Copies of this chain bind each other. A is one copy, B any other.
Amino acid sequence: MTGGTPPETEAPGTEASSVRGRLLAAASRLFYARGINATGIDAVIAEAGVAKQSLYNTFSSKDELTRAYVTARHEEWLELYRARVAQADCPRDRVLAVVDAYLDHASGTYEHGFRGCGLLNAAAEFPAGSPGREAVRRHKEQVQSLIAGHLAETGSADPELAEHLAFLLEGAMSRAGLEGRPDLLLSARRLAAGMLDPRPDARRDAR
């Protein structure tokens, strides 16, 4: 019962080969594309190519699978963000790395029907004080606090600016999902960059 998990280089059970990994990948695709409540267990196991009992050996219920989905999506985003922030070499670019992480996420899910932020969509299906909704709330708070942290690096730690950028990014993601146009995030990136540049005028430096 000590059950040594295999040596893990990534998050436990995210490997594409394992039952758990395939279930999470399948759930991720279907939950994102169709919504959680509209996706049956049978569809998940068919997509994963896994027996029903294997699902219930791995997750105790659909609810637990749903929680794992939310957690996994949060961590995937963090991974994208870390990769982007590592490439940025000034605080300004590190703020924009947050936007870039969303852009990466969008371009990744675009081909299969872009529907905006999977976590926000999931939250829309959770009741008002539920654990899932709280998890999404914390994710969005973390996004804002990452922005605030990078702003603090610039010396001008303005919490209002962090909130402004977080709202801007969040709204752009929603609208991009509705329009099916991930490129709306580029508009948001441009607007954010404009707010970060020291020059108060000198706008309209159209690319």
Which residues from chain A sit less than 8 Å from chain B, CB to CB?
A: 33-35, 37-38, 113-116, 120-125, 127-129, 133, 136-137, 140, 160, 163-164, 166-175, 178-180, 187-188, 190-191, 200-201
The number of times this chain is found in the oligomer is 2
Chain B residues whose CB sits within 8 angstroms of the CB of A172 once the complex forms: 167, 170-171
* 5 A-B pairs with C-beta separation under 8 A: A37-B37, A122-B124, A166-B171, A167-B191, A170-B170
- Say whether A128 contacts B140, CB under 8 Å: no
Query: In whole angstroms, how far apart are the Cα atoms of A70 and B177 in the complex?
Result: 18
Chain B residues whose CB sits within 8 angstroms of the CB of A35 once the complex forms: 37, 124-125, 127
Chain B residues whose CB sits within 8 angstroms of the CB of A201 once the complex forms: 200
- Say whether A38 contacts B125, CB under 8 Å: yes
- Say whether B125 contacts A178, CB under 8 Å: no
- Say whether B200 contacts A34, CB under 8 Å: no
- Say whether B125 contacts A174, CB under 8 Å: no
- Say whether A167 contacts B179, CB under 8 Å: no
